Amino acid sequence: MKLNPACRLSLVISTLLLIAAGAIAADTAPQQPQPDSSPAHKNRLIGVGEPRLPQPFTREQRLLKAAREGDLRTIERALELGVDVNTKDELQRSPLLLAARHTGSVDLVRHLQARGGEIDSADAGGRTPLSHAAANGSLALIKYLAAAGVRIDHPDKRGRTPLHYAATNNHPDTAAALIAAGADVNARDKFLDTPLMSVCARGQTDMIKLLLDRGADPTLTDQEGRTVYTRAVHKPGCRELLPALNAGTRSP
């Protein structure tokens, strides 16, 4: 049946409108059927487009990931391929620092050190492997790092030492090991807070007792003039410690 010109024009206009609305594919070539197991089929089922392929890791990224996960085999492979053992990520974390932070493994840290890893390298925040070990309560690693000659009182960008981290994270054994290794029990951060001040603010009684026993000075004040007593006086559980915390100071 022949269509008159007006009908043909109307049909063309309707078709163009449908294409613009997406109802008809502009490319009318037949599509090859996708097997049910194909990624395209699976993505259609869950309503998403074609999957994005992950970008490949660089060798440096593989080494950093392996250190974080304690994957010694991959670490060795990367080093054999010539990757710098002291390569760093965007936060300036080296493989050895990541191993200390995420695994706490003395063996892994020792291995990386033997391969040339810097044992006292700091991240972008100024935290060293010792700082991370202290924060995590990794006692064996603390002892190893101290014996290896790291700087015990290395301050981070806020002036916080490894002892600050051990104390505020409530790791008495770790704090005791740091003090035994020569940590300054009265070290101050940029706000003039000592480890004792920090734990008094949290009401950590066991840590308060330890620091006082190891010579922490309760008379020191922070940048606002507060003492450890004023920080602890309203904390539950600290009542029995208040006389010791108030020694040599005036009561508020």
Decide if 106 contacts 84 (C-beta within 8 A): no
Query: How crowded is residue 213: how many other Cβ atoms within 10 Å of its Cβ?
Result: 12
Average confidence (pLDDT) over 36-52? 45
Average confidence (pLDDT) over 30-46? 48
How confident is the model at residue 7, as a pLDDT?
59
Average confidence (pLDDT) over 142-150? 98
How confident is the model at residue 224, as a pLDDT?
92
pTM as predicted: 0.75
For 190-241, write each residue's pLDDT tens digit: 999 999 999 998 888 899 999 999 999 999 999 999 888 888 887 877 777 8
- CA-to-CA distance for 60 and 9, rounded, in angstroms? 63
Q: The domain 192-252 is classified under which CATH number: 3.30.70.1230, 1.10.10.60, 1.25.40.20, 3.40.50.11440? A: 1.25.40.20
For 66-115, write each residue's pLDDT tens digit: 999 999 999 999 999 999 999 999 999 999 999 999 999 999 999 999 99
CA distances to 55, 75, 83, 124, 218 from 58, in Å? 9, 13, 10, 21, 51
**Residue 29: which pLDDT band, with cuts at 50, 70 and 90?**
very low
How confident is the model at residue 70, as a pLDDT?
97
How confident is the model at residue 213, as a pLDDT?
95
Domain boundaries, the chain: 192-252
Contacts of 154 (CB under 8 A, 6+ apart): 120, 122, 126, 128, 130, 131, 161, 162
Q: Would you say residue 28 has pLDDT above 70? A: no
How confident is the model at residue 35, as a pLDDT?
54
**Residue 159: which pLDDT band, with cuts at 50, 70 and 90?**
very high
- Chain Cα centroid distance, residue 13: 60
